[in-house]
């Protein structure tokens, strides 16, 4: 149970707040690279700041204030030029660093006045990686975007999925260090949603949490596994500071403001040997719905949709003054302590956990991955056809994670892998 002030400290991400400062030390995925192909500007809200993401005519990316510093017009209606974004009201043009590089009328009427040299728009750096656009809102010099090992894997079909979640980011992230919920929220609840009364899933017998360089690892022994099982020897990863990593996919919980979160998931599926070499020209993206428009209830058919039901169910901002933590929550307590320690480190002029600045080391950052060889080496067509379960983690034949995968993405996946999807979600 936390004091109200502690709870607020974890939740508030606006400029100048302790958590806002901490989260501004990291790059965050905020959009898909392919998203700006059709429309080069996109209004976004990040950590309580209203911004516009753009791709200019030279292919450069920028992220600037939503409002023009002249008379506050909406820059998301601006138009991109060879360099930068031009306000559509009076034509002032800004580059990706926020410098005003053209002021058409002012320059004509007073060529020596250099008014433009006195005006800036707020601007943050943007970089592309793994089919996503990442933003950094902290002070310079910016660290590197971690080059996680799966981003370097070959012969894979990737996709990026977004969901808009109407609750605070921190309760979403606490779900990243919660092994026991798999048994109940995903396994047993899915059984019940499928109208069966059982049998229930093997129970958790033992759990363990370990801090490591890139976050925390949670390990488990279930009734049907032992300490030789990779669920115990390798475990799953709560990736610092705001993600979950399970092997074939990442899930980032990006704070939009204190009451909203952008869920960003990146999936990798290995193509079978007979489809190699496979190079994906464009990583598709889509937005997964979370509410059933007919019933007004949250969608429960897919794994991450189930998680989202937990997150939004905790309230727009979970009231941690009313919680009762048990032994299953040891990981939650550990990560809360780490965030607090990181805030202290920042106060002392030090860097928080999980900042990467060494280019060589960032060439490929290894992570604990159950079944890693499947993602790297892949399978023959025959092995895939004869896979003992109906869900092969490296080349799945169902998209179990998010509801609403568009037909077009499914077709692209099938064309790439030759695996026919049977996506009816968990409940059939
Ligand atoms: S308000 Fe943007 S140029 Fe005038
Ligand atoms: Fe979950």
For the stretch 343-367, pLDDT in tens is: 999 999 999 999 999 999 999 999 9
pLDDT for position 425? 52
pLDDT of residue 427: 41
CA 119–ligand 1 middle distance (angstroms): 12
Report, in this order, helix, strand and coil percent for the chain, each rounded to 5: 30, 25, 45
108: CATH: 2.102.10.10
pLDDT at 120: 98
In 316-344, which positions are buried (b, 16+ CB within 10 angstroms) versus exposed (e)? ebbebeeeeeeeebebbebbbebbbebbe
Atom of ligand 1 nearest to the CA of 92: 3
Q: 176 lies in which domain range? A: 149-417
72 CA distance to ligand 1 middle (Å): 6
Is pLDDT of 156 > 70?
yes
pLDDT at 396: 87
Q: Are residues 304 and 334 in the same domain?
A: yes
113/167 Cα distance (integer angstroms)? 48
Question: For residue 324, is it within any domain?
Answer: yes
231-261 residue pLDDT tens: 999 999 999 999 999 999 999 999 999 999 9
Do residue 393 and residue 344 come from a single domain?
Answer: yes
Per-residue pLDDT tens over the stretch 197-210: 999 999 999 999 99
pLDDT bucket at 417, cuts 50 / 70 / 90: very high
Q: Which residue's alpha carbon is nearest to atom 1 within ligand 1? A: 71
Ligand 2: centre distance to CA 412 (Å): 26
Q: What is the pLDDT of residue 428?
A: 36
Which of ligand 1's atoms lies nearest the C-alpha of 90?
Answer: 3
Ligand 1 atom with least separation from CA of 71: 1
pLDDT band at 424 (very low <50, low <70, confident <90, very high): low
Mean pLDDT over each residue of the chain, to the nearest integer:
96
If asked whether residues 105 and 200 sit together in one domain, one would say no
- The model's confidence at residue 58, banded by pLDDT at 50, 70 and 90, is very high
Q: Which of 68, 84, 102 to mutate to test the pocket of ligand 1 (most atoms within 8 A of CB)?
A: 68
What is the predicted pLDDT for the residue at 411? 96
Residues 193 and 118 in one domain: no
Distance CA 161, CA 163 (A): 7
φ and ψ of 5, to 5 deg: -65, -35
pLDDT at 390: 60
- Provide the 8-state DSSP code for 99: B
pLDDT attached to residue 421 = 84
Q: Kindly state whether residues 303 and 205 are assigned to the same domain.
A: yes
Residue 96 belongs to a domain: yes
* Number of independent structural domains in the chain: 2
* Residue 352, φ and ψ in degrees, nearest 5: -75, 180
191 and 259 both lie in a single domain: yes
| Residue 83 and residue 189 in one domain | no
pLDDT at 394 over 90: no
Among 70, 107, 120, name the best residue to mutate to test ligand 1's pocket (greatest count of ligand atoms within 8 A of Cβ): 70
Single residue among 136, 169, 192 that ends a domain in this structure:
136
Distance CA 190, CA 427 (A): 7
100 and 189 together in one domain: no
Q: Whose CA is nearest to atom 3 of ligand 1?
A: 90
Place 385 in a pLDDT band, splitting at 50, 70 and 90. confident
Name the residue with higher pLDDT: 258 or 393: 258
- pTM for the model stands at 0.97
Ligand 1 midpoint to CA 35 (Å)? 26
Higher pLDDT, 425 or 182: 182
C-alpha–C-alpha distance, residues 261 and 140, integer Å: 25
Residues with beta carbon inside 6 Å of ligand 1?
68, 70-71, 73, 87, 89-92
Which pLDDT belongs to residue 1?
A: 83
Is residue 422, in this structure, part of any structural domain at all? no
Cα of 151 to ligand 1 centre, how many Å? Answer: 40
Whether pLDDT at 423 is above 60:
no
Whether 187 and 121 map to the same domain: the answer is no
pLDDT, tens only, 68-82 = 999 999 999 999 999
Least confident of 179-183, 293-297, 332-336, 394-398: 394-398
Residue 187 CA, ligand 1 centroid: distance in Å = 55
Ligand showing the shortest atom-to-Cα distance for residue 74: 1
Please state the rounded mean pLDDT for residues 212-217.
98
Check residue 264 and give its pLDDT: 99
Summarize pLDDT for 262-298 with one digit per residue, the tens: 999 999 999 999 999 999 999 999 999 999 999 999 9
Ligand nearest to the CA of residue 307, numbered in listed order: 2
Which ligand neighbours the alpha carbon of 246 most closely?
2
Residue 328 above 60 pLDDT?
Answer: yes
Q: What percent of the chain has pLDDT over 70?
A: 98
* Dist. CA 141 → ligand 1 center (Å): 30
Output the residue whose Cα is nearest ligand 1's atom 4. Answer: 90
Give me the mean pLDDT over the 202-219 stretch: 98
Structure-block tokens of residue 309: 């039901």
> Strand runs (DSSP E) across 213-337, as ranges?
215-222, 236-239, 243-245, 249-257, 260-270, 285-287
322 lies in some domain: yes
* Sheet hosting strand 49-55, strand order edge to edge: 41-46, 49-55, 61-65, 123-124
Check pLDDT > 90 for residue 52.
yes
| Interatomic CA distance for residues 362 and 146, integer angstroms | 6
Is residue 119 located within the same domain as residue 158?
no
């Amino acid at each position: 149970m936390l004091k109200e002030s502690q709870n607020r400290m974890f939740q508030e991400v606006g400029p100048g707040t302790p958590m806002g400062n901490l989260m501004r030390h990291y790059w965050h995925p905020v959009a898909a690279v392919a998203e700006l192909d059709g429309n080069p500007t996109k209004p976004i809200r990040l950590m309580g700041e209203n911004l516009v993401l753009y791709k200019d005519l030279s292919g450069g990316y920028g992220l600037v204030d939503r409002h023009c510093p002249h008379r506050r017009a909406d820059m998301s209606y601006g138009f991109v030029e060879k360099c930068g974004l031009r306000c559509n009201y009076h034509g002032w043009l800004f580059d990706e660093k926020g410098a005003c590089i053209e002021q058409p009328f002012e320059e004509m009427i007073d060529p020596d006045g250099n008014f433009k040299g006195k005006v800036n728009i707020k601007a943050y750096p943007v970089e592309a990686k793994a089919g996503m656009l990442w933003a950094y809102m902290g002070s310079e010099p910016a660290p590197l975007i971690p080059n996680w090992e799966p981003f370097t894997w070959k012969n894979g079909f990737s996709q990026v999925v977004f969901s808009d979640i109407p609750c605070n980011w921190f309760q979403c992230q606490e779900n990243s260090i919660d092994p026991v919920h798999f048994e109940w929220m995903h396994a047993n609840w899915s059984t019940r949603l499928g109208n069966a009364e059982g049998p229930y899933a093997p129970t958790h017998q033992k759990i363990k949490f370990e801090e490591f360089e890139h976050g925390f690892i949670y390990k488990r022994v279930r009734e049907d596994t032992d300490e030789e099982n990779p669920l115990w020897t390798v475990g799953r990863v709560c990736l610092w500071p705001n993600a979950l990593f399970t092997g074939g996919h990442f899930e980032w919980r990006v704070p939009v403001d204190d009451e909203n979160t952008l869920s960003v998931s990146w999936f990798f599926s290995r193509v079978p040997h007979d489809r190699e070499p496979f190079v994906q020209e464009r990583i598709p993206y889509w937005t997964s719905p979370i509410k059933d428009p007919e019933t007004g209830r949250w969608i429960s058919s897919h794994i991450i949709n189930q998680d989202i039901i937990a997150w939004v169910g905790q309230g727009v901002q979970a009231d941690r003054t009313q919680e009762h933590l048990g032994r299953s929550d040891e990981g939650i307590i550990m990560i809360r302590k780490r965030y607090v320690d990181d805030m202290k480190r920042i106060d002392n002029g030090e860097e928080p956990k999980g900042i990467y600045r060494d280019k060589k080391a960032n060439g490929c950052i290894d992570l604990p991955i159950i079944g890693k060889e499947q993602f790297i080496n892949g399978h023959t067509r025959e092995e895939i056809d004869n896979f003992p379960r109906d869900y092969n983690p490296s080349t799945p034949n169902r998209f179990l994670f998010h509801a609403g995968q568009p037909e077009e993405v499914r077709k692209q996946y099938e064309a790439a892998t030759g695996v026919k999807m049977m996506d009816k979600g968990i409940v059939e």
